[in-house]
Structure 1
Amino acid sequence: MELNWIEWYGYLASLVVFISLTMSSIIKLRIFNFLGCLIFAHYGMLTGLWPVAVANGSIALINVYYLYQIYKTKEQFKLLDAEIDSAYYQHFIAINQTEINKQVSIKALSEVNTSFYMLRDDNIAGILAGFKEEDGTFTIFVDFVPTKYRDYKLGDYYFNQHPAFLKEKGITRLKTYATDKDHCFYLQKMGFTCENRDDKQLYQKRL
């Protein structure tokens, strides 16, 4: 039996909700879930399935509420110097080793001369580590944020809105090499400019 467009519309709603559950970013999850629930609510109205319409409409409103709470909350950010041989630092690296290895090898990471904890509301939300030169250039080896904090807020705060945090550490220029397309997108979003050098994509930003 051939499906009509309303049935396909219902499948579309299911697909969008499914996609929302694959998102690592809580903001993206909320946005996609909102869209999926909105489509489902409309589907329920079109088909006369009012329990479906009411339930999904309510969930859509809940998503709006939590997105509003996320964006209105004034969070506190801070950079703290990190000792790479400290027990906590090594623990943080160990539990996130698989993802950190996508940016840099653990051996290379052990050779950095500058490392920071990126704090968000007094919680360690990521690490920024690399090699700082005397002229103020900081070559970033790893800029890693665990999944629950991966919403661009940390990078935007330190690299764009409040570069004074890094300047206070003697850093005036940032450079790093992109590791994949997602990394390129992130660096461009943070205001880095790209140069092709030695078959690698070098990104730089002056603070």
Structure 2
Amino acid sequence: MLEVIGWLGTVLVVASLTVAGVWRFRVMNLVGAVLATAYNAAIGVWPVVAMNGAIALIDVYWLVRLQRERHDAAAYEVLDVDADDAWLGHLLRVHGDDVRRFHPGVDLAPAPGRSAHLVVRGDETVGVVLVRDVGGGTGLIEVDYVTPRFRDFTPGEFVYRRSGLFVERGLRRLEVHAVPHAGTTYLERMGFRPTGTGGWERPVEPVAA
């Protein structure tokens, strides 16, 4: 049984290095480090105990920090950019195949009436929301995309929180025709409700005076 614990810890630590999501990486790495610490303590290999114990403490620190910041507007910022912005274009080219996996058939070329919002954490872009004005005060969410490293989080929420982004463009409601990768629970948390025709919608709340 002791050998099983040791091998399981090793496998988890190694496997965590292949995971793109920062949250899942830390969780797997933490569990693996704890098991490796227990195994090496049992057989008396103290330098390895110290190393894995330190790794576990570092993982705990980052998990606590990530959890604390996941809904914190001070940690994530929304940048409004033009539809033909160079960095947006680069981002959509790099992640184009992945974006289309979640939004089949979407045209990622710059389009009239489209607004683009980048969610950034420090100097890293973690999410993209593209909204097209389809008339009548309605904005269609064409893309709500999160990069693989932050797919365990929902950075798009920071875009929807800022109703002023949409009010300034004359939008009174937002529609979603294709459910994003985060699923219907995510849409409900963002204030969207089923339309009864297969889509989702939410009103754009007026900006407080």
Q: Which residue of 1 aligns with 2:170?
A: 170
Q: CA RMSD in A?
A: 3.3
In 2 relative to 1, CA 114–196 (structure 1 residues): closer, same or farther, beyond 3 Å?
A: same
SS of 2:115's equivalent? strand
Residue 90 (1) aligns with residue 89 (2)? yes
Aligned partner of 1:7 among 3, 21, 26: 3
More helix by share: 1
Aligned length in residues: 198
Aligned-pair CA distance for 1:59: 0.6
Deviations 1:6-54 (A, max 9, x none): 2222232233324422332223312221222112212222333323322
Aligned-pair CA distance for 1:118: 1.4
- Per the normalisation by structure 2, the TM-score is 0.73
Partners of 2:100 and 2:31 in 1: how far apart? Answer: 34
In 2 relative to 1, CA 193–9 (structure 1 residues): closer, same or farther, beyond 3 Å?
A: farther
- Per the normalisation by structure 1, the TM-score is 0.73
Aligned-pair CA distance for 1:122: 6.5
Aligned-pair CA distance for 1:110: 5.1
Aligned-pair CA distance for 1:56: 0.7
Deviations 1:37-87 (A, max 9, x none): 112212222333323322111111122233445446832513414223x54
Partners of 2:194 and 2:59 in 1: how far apart? Answer: 36
Percent identity reads 25
Residue 129 (1) aligns with residue 130 (2)? yes
- Tell whether the 8 Å contact from 2:119 to 2:159 is kept in structure 1 after alignment: no
Deviations 1:178-204 (A, max 9, x none): 46765446445545444674xxx5333
Deviations 1:123-158 (A, max 9, x none): 654332232233432211112233344453521222
List gaps (5 residues or longer) in structure 1. Answer: none
